[in-house]
Amino acid sequence: MKVIGNILWIIFTGLYSSIVYFLLGIIWCITIIGIPFGKQCFKFARLAIWPFGSTVDTNFGKHPIANVLWIIFGGLEMAACFFVIGIIWCITIIGIPFGKQCFKFAKLSFMPFGSTIK
């Protein structure tokens, strides 16, 4: 089921999302100050390509200042968008697995620094 879910995810949204996050990571890494933020975009790109079967573990205490900056400059809005999209997916029974993946993205997008994807 994970493989089928990942294939459907890649077809409908994963490939495009992964490319966008990868390009954003490259743009962030062009500047010296943006390298840590670019690395987080690469983390999103990895999760966007194969989310089913992956877990996200957050650790706010590992980089609290970076996480607070991330939340202030877009992380809260990004997490809220993923959360709302997840709720919309969960309204239909067939979309519940995709909604769960959106909740996973919301968790990662709220506090990416110190988070690991397994």
**Tens-of-pLDDT digits for all 118 residues of the chain?**
789 999 999 998 889 989 999 999 999 999 888 999 999 999 999 999 989 999 999 888 888 999 999 899 888 999 999 999 999 999 988 899 999 999 999 999 999 999 999 8
If you count them, how many residues does the chain have? Answer: 118
For residue 57, the SS3 value is strand
pLDDT reported for residue 45: 92
* CA dist., res. 110 & res. 61, Å (int): 14
Instruction: Say what the pTM is.
Output: 0.85
CB atoms within 10 A of CB 41: 21
Domains of the chain, by residue range, sit at 2-117
